[in-house]
Amino acid sequence: MSAPVYRIGMLGGGTVGGGVYELLRIKQRTLPVVATAASTTAAATAAAAAAVVVVSKICVRDLTKPRDFDIDTATTALTTDPMELLSPDIDCVVEVAGGCDVAKDVVLKALELGKTVVTANKALLFEHMSTIEHVATGGAASAGGGKPQLGYEAAVCGGIPIVDVLTTGYAGDTIQSVAGICNGTTNYMLSAMAKDPSVQYADVLREAQDLGYAEADPTADVEGHDVRAKIAILAKLAFGVTVPMDKIPCTGISQITSIDFAAAKANHRCTIKLIGTAARGSTTTTVGSNPSGVCVYVTPTLVPLTNQLANVHGCGNCVTVTSKNMGQCTYAGPGAGRYPTANSIVADIYRAAAHALPTVAFPIPNSCLGSDLTVVDDYVACFFIRIPCQTPVSFAALGAIAEECGLALASIEEQDGSQLTLTTSSSSSRSAVDKFCKDVQEKLDFVTGSPLFMPILSVDEE
């Protein structure tokens, strides 16, 4: 008797979709699904234990486009009609197309029909978090009798199983912060720029695109939007809060130049990394004295060369979770690319087939049940500021504006006659620094362009 088949309908057959297809074709011969005690019914457990996973449909935009993976036409049909993925014979919809148009329709409709959904789409999860949460919870009973399951391990930090860690590993703990490098494209670019000042931004971005790390529109990577979506998902898992886009200060790397790397190294013994942070009030360096505040933000950051984040290179990601019981735990690995991301998708598919994914899309952590956390959008740090300028410079005028903004300047250095770099005291708020930068550009004739500012990771946070 042949084994029952767990059928996948996949939206997308690009970098990630191709990897999922290849891994499943290898693994289905060697790794039968193992059901767990979480299986909802005895029948489901028995069926899952013996099932073989097969991708029976792949929906793409262009049927004539050459694919860089072999498709077994005996078991897999290509289509351009996404609605075919919703047919009754499909057990699990894997969404690896990206975007919030067709992907959103397919994901929501599949959940409404009680199908399991596995997705790598952090933009969709972030921008439609409440709707997805609502539909996943209220979806029809699935064919196996359980609730629809939603897996999204691949959406955050590629191959690092950080979603599973936060969902299951901190049940008896209280998380204080989750922070780190969550974008492979920009880490690849910043690593190259740090190593070689002559590297051109456009060239190194193209390399990251060629390696399959970047989003379809790489603006999402370089302007920090991709990290914003990921850190908001991690904030939801760590603190149970849905943080709206307009409450997440977000700066990307497009203004970073070799001057910043040189000043960071010479004056602060630091390199520059794009860091996403989600922290609650007890973390004094982030949200000051508000004990029930949660602050989520994305910013290029000066990171001491001795910090482990400074040594995460290429498409690597690295997230540190700080919690009451464990102190700091760091999770690192490949954050983008075909096989690491596909590995997370395949792990979710196997968990789904065994009914082992949570049936609540974003489980609220035990430590946050009944708590009243509010979202705040300001944080406190020591900041590095670079101001494009021409001579003569008036240090007195800069000092006066700093004072008006309530900022204490710890040092001012001239870089090469056309740039000043400043360091603030360690108790400066982001909002005060932002105001200072806007005011100096507006009021001082010797300022020739937009100032750039970044927090400096303190030794305490290492």
**Which of ligand NAP, ligand HSE, none binds 96 (CB below 5-8 Å, type-dependent)?**
ligand NAP
**Which of ligand HSE, ligand NAP, none binds 460 (CB below 5-8 Å, type-dependent)?**
none
Rounded alpha-carbon distances, angstroms, from residue 178 to 155, 175, 318: 16, 8, 10
Task: Report the sign of the C-alpha dihedral through residues 351, 355, 359, 365, in that order.
Answer: negative
Q: Applying CB under 6 A, does 221 fall inside the site for ligand HSE?
A: yes
Which are the contacts of 286, defined by CB distance < 8 A and separation ≥ 6?
177, 277, 279, 295, 379, 380, 381
Instruction: Centre a 10 Å sphere on the Cβ of residue 435 and count the other Cβ atoms it contains.
Output: 16
> Which residue number, 60 or 264, has a Cβ lying nearer to ligand NAP?
60
**Which of ligand NAP, ligand HSE, none binds 183 (CB below 5-8 Å, type-dependent)?**
ligand HSE
Interface pattern 131-170 for ligand HSE (x via CB under 6 A): ---------------------------x------------
> Which residue number, 154 or 457, has a Cβ lying nearer to ligand NAP?
154
Residue 334 CA to chain centroid, in angstroms?
A: 13
Q: Is 147 a catalytic residue?
A: no
> Which residue number, 2 or 64, has a Cβ lying nearer to ligand NAP?
64
d(CA 356, CA 137) in angstroms, rounded, equals 16
**Which of ligand NAP, ligand HSE, none binds 221 (CB below 5-8 Å, type-dependent)?**
ligand HSE
Please give the order of strands across the beta sheet that includes 92-95: 77-79, 52-59, 5-11, 92-95, 116-119, 150-151
Please give the residue whose beta carbon sits closest to ligand HSE in the complex.
Answer: 185
Q: Is 110 exposed, middle or buried (0-12, 13-18, 19+ CB in 10 A)?
A: buried
**Which of ligand HSE, ligand NAP, none binds 16 (CB below 5-8 Å, type-dependent)?**
ligand NAP
> Which residue number, 211 or 412, has a Cβ lying nearer to ligand HSE?
211
- Among positions 12, 139, 161, 184, the unique one binding ligand HSE when judged by CB under 6 A: 184
> What is the radius of gyration, based on Cα positions, of the chain?
24
CB of 230 to ligand HSE, least distance (A): 7
The single residue of 57, 147, 230, 273 carrying the catalytic annotation is 230
Helix axes 184-195, 201-210, angle to 10 degrees: 140
Q: Is 278 helix (H, G, I), strand (E, B) or coil?
A: strand
> Which residue number, 152 or 453, has a Cβ lying nearer to ligand HSE?
152
**Which of ligand HSE, ligand NAP, none binds 12 (CB below 5-8 Å, type-dependent)?**
ligand NAP
337 phi-psi bin (left φ>0, alpha ψ -120 to 50, beta other): left
**Which of ligand NAP, ligand HSE, none binds 212 (CB below 5-8 Å, type-dependent)?**
ligand NAP
Give the amino acid at 141.
A
Q: Which of 115, 106, 108 is nearest to 141 (CA)?
A: 115
> Which residue number, 47 or 208, has a Cβ lying nearer to ligand HSE?
208
Footprint on this chain of ligand NAP (rule: CB under 6 A): 11-17, 59-62, 65, 82, 96-98, 102, 120-121, 154, 158, 212-213, 215-216, 336-337, 341
> Which residue number, 14 or 451, has a Cβ lying nearer to ligand HSE?
14
CB of 19 to ligand HSE, least distance (A): 12
Q: Is 14 helix (H, G, I), strand (E, B) or coil?
A: coil
d(CA 52, CA 36) in angstroms, rounded, equals 16
Interface pattern 324-363 for ligand HSE (x via CB under 6 A): -----------xx---------------------------
Give the amino acid at 219.
T
CB of 15 to ligand HSE, least distance (A): 9
Residue 152 CA to chain centroid, in angstroms?
A: 11
Question: Locate tokens 């998380």: which residue?
Answer: 175
d(CA 144, CA 364) in angstroms, rounded, equals 25
Provide the binding-site residues for ligand HSE, judged by CB under 6 A: 158, 183-185, 213-215, 221, 226, 335-336
Query: Would you name the residues annotated as active-site residues?
Result: 230
